[in-house]
Amino acid sequence: MPEAYRKHLQRQISQHAHSEIIGMQPEGNWLLRAPSLRAKVVLLAKIQDEAGHGLYLYSAAETLGKSRTEYLNELRTGKAKYSSIFNYPTLTWADMGAVGWLVDGAAIVNQVSLQRTSYGPYARSMVKICKEESFHQRQGYEIITDMARGSEAQKEMAQDALNRFWWPSIMMFGPHDSDSPNTGNAVKWKIKRATNDELRQSFIDKTVHQAEIIGLTIPDPDLKWNEKRGHYDFGEMDWDEFWRVVKGGGPCSKQRLKHYNDAHNSGEWVRKAAKTYAEKQQLKQDVA
Amino acid sequence: MSNTDSQGPIWEVFIQSKPGLAHKHVGNLHAADKEMALQNARDLYTRRKEGTCIWVVPFDAIVSSTPEDDEAFFEPSNDKAYRTPTHYIMPEGAKHI
C-alpha cells in the first residue's frame, strides 16, 4: 500500500471515528431531560449506535497498522480532529431534532458516497453504518416536525434550532473544493467518491423540501431554486468561523475534550480490573 | 497485549444470522477476556436482530495465508480444469442429472 494513501486513510477514518465518539456528547446532554419515555429510549438507542459506529471505524482504522490506543491517544491529546459540528452546544430539545435531521442527514449524504470508497474495511463499515443511520435522521425529523407543528413557543424553538444548526451543518462537508488541500488526492485515489461541494449541494437539495413541508425557513436569504442548474443556489458560508472552530475555538471545544478525557480517566480502574481478571483466569487455565 | 495498551486484545466476531446457516465474519473488537468479548460482541454487532449465535475468536488464534503465498497456494488449481464439470463432454442428446 502506498504510504501517502495509508496516511490519508489513517487520518480520515480515525477522524470519522472520533466524530462518532464525541458526537455522543451533545445528545447525551438531553438524555435525562427527554420529554417522554419513548423519546428517551430512542435517544439512548441512537447514542449507543454512535458508539458502535465509532468502534466499527476504529476497527477499520486499525487495519492500517496503527493501534487503537494510538488513535485514542491522538484524540485525547487534541492532536486529532473530529467534526466541528459537535463543538456547538445543544440548548433546547428542538436541537435534538435539528441534530438528527441536519447533522445526521449531512453525515448520511457523506457516508452513502463513502460506501464505494476504495479501501475495503472502510467501505464495509460505511455499509453497516448507513443501514443504522437512516433511523437517526428520521427520529430527528420527527422531533423537529412535532415541535414545528406544536405551540407557538415550540415552533419558535424549532426555527431557532434550524437557524443555529443550518450553517454549521452545511459546513460539515468541509471547505470549497478550490480550498480543500486533501480533496485532490482523495478523489484521485477513490477514497472520496464525490467532492465536498458536490455532497453539500446534494444535501441542500434534499433538505430544503423537508423544511418547507413542516413550515420552517432555512436561514439563508440567497437560497433559491436554479432552474438552469437543477439545483438550489445558496449563500456563502462564514469561513472565518469554520476555521476558528476547526482550530479548537468552537463554543464547546474545550468542554468536549475535557469530558472525553474525564470519562476515559474515570474508567481506568475498570480497564485495570478487567486486565488483572483476564490474567488471573489465564494463569488458572495454565496451571490446570 | 503490550503493557501500554489498555484496550485488551483483538477478538474477531462471527455471527450466525439464522439457525442452520454458517457463521459469517462481521468485524472485530477489543476485550480483556472471552466473556467480555462475547458481551461486547452482542452490544456492538447484534443491536438489531442480526443473529442467533455469536462466535468470538482471539485474533492471535487465526492463521492466515498471505498475498506472498498466493502463487504456491492457489496457482496449482489453475491448470486442473478437470476438477470442474464443464471439462467433460456429454454425448449428444444426453440429459443432465
Q: What pLDDT, in 10s, does the model give residues A151-181?
A: 999 999 999 999 999 999 999 999 998 888 7
Helix H or strand E segment including B16: strand B10-16
Contact present, A175 and A78 (Cβ < 8 Å): no
Q: Which of B10, B11, B15, B30 to mutate to test the interface with A (most CBs of A within 10 A)?
A: B30
DSSP state of A12: H
Type and span of the H or E element at B40: helix B34-45
Which residues are bridge partners to A157 per DSSP? none
Residues 61-80 of B with CB under 8 A from A: none
Judged by a CB distance cut-off of 8 A, whether residue B47 touches chain A is yes
> How long a stretch of residues is chain A?
288
pTM of the model: 0.92
- Asked if the C-beta of B87 comes within 8 angstroms of chain A's C-beta atoms, the answer is no
Q: pLDDT tens digits for A96-122?
A: 999 999 999 999 999 999 999 999 999
Residue of chain B with shortest Cα separation from A280: B33
How far is the alpha carbon of B1 from chain A, nearest alpha carbon, in Å?
Answer: 10
CA-CA distance, B25 to B33, in Å (whole number)?
A: 19
pLDDT at B71: 87
The x, y and z cell numbers of residue A80, run together, are 486529532
A184 phi and psi angles, rounded to 5 deg: -50, -60
- Neighboring chain A residues of B4 at a CB cutoff of 8 Å: 69
CB contact A52 to B (< 8 Å): yes
The C-alpha of A169 sits at a distance from chain B's nearest C-alpha, in angstroms, of: 28
Residue pair A239/A174 in contact (Cβ under 8 Å)? The answer is no
Contacts of A273 (CB under 8 A, 6+ apart): none
Residue A14: name the closest of A77, A67, A88, A84 by CA.
Answer: A67
The model's confidence at residue B3, banded by pLDDT at 50, 70 and 90, is very low
What ranges in chain A are assigned the alpha helix state H? 3-22, 24-28, 37-62, 68-76, 93-98, 104-114, 120-148, 152-171, 183-188, 196-213, 239-244, 253-266, 268-287
In this prediction the ipTM stands at 0.89
Band (pLDDT 50/70/90 cuts) for residue A287 is confident
pLDDT at B2 over 70: no
Within the 95-154 window of chain A, which residues sit less than 8 Å (CB to CB) from chain B? Answer: 125, 128, 132
Q: Say how many CB pairs under 8 Å bridge A and B.
A: 51
* pLDDT tens-digit series, residues B31-61: 999 999 999 999 999 999 889 999 999 999 9
Write the single-letter amino acid at A113: S
- Please judge whether A275 and B28 are an interchain contact, meaning their C-beta atoms are less than 8 angstroms apart: no
- Which among B5, B28, B43 has the least Cβ separation from residue A69? B5
Nine-digit cell string for A190 = 477513490
Residue pLDDT, tens place only, A181-238: 777 889 999 999 999 999 999 999 999 999 999 999 999 999 999 999 999 999 999 9
Beta bridge partners of A231: A226
